[in-house]
Amino acid sequence: MRTLITGKVVDFVPTFGAHLDGKCLILNEEGDFEITVDTGFNGGIAIPLEIMDKMDMEFFGYDTFTLATGDIVELPMFMGKVILDDYESKTWFIPGDSLLGMAFLSTVGSILCFDFENETVELRR
């Protein structure tokens, strides 16, 4: 078992660092922005449109999502590249808050470990 990425847990919110490298999303310990681990989001990755506009993505289609508020929205989906450590993956993105969903996490890792005492979160493979 090896750790792909380590993040932090602050006020019970687990986050990983992220930044853009060329046209793909890089997840690492030190990023330009934080992306929240959202176990209630069963999708891939949600990021703001201004970040998506800088990435090399292909339009995939539209899908319907139920937000945490209970609102149902139709959002565009895009396929893009993500790099974690030495692992590269294609996943789908939607516009929104910076969130890592369960579909993405389960594809790239097999264990998501929250350590609330040490305020860390790890994704392991």
- Tell me the average pLDDT of the chain: 92
C-alpha span between 85 and 69 (Å, rounded)? 34
Smallest Cα–Cα separation from 105: which of 117, 122, 118, 80?
122
Question: In which domain, by residue range, is 104 found?
Answer: 3-124
The answer to whether residue 68 scores a pLDDT higher than 90 is: no
Say what the pLDDT of residue 101 is.
Answer: 94
Counting DSSP H helices and E strands in the chain, the numbers are 2, 11
Check which CATH number belongs to the domain holding 12 and give it. 2.40.70
Q: Can you give the pTM of this predicted structure? A: 0.91
Percent of the chain at pLDDT exceeding 70: 100
Query: How many separate domains does the chain show?
Result: 1
Average pLDDT for 47-75: 92
The answer to whether residue 59 scores a pLDDT higher than 90 is: yes
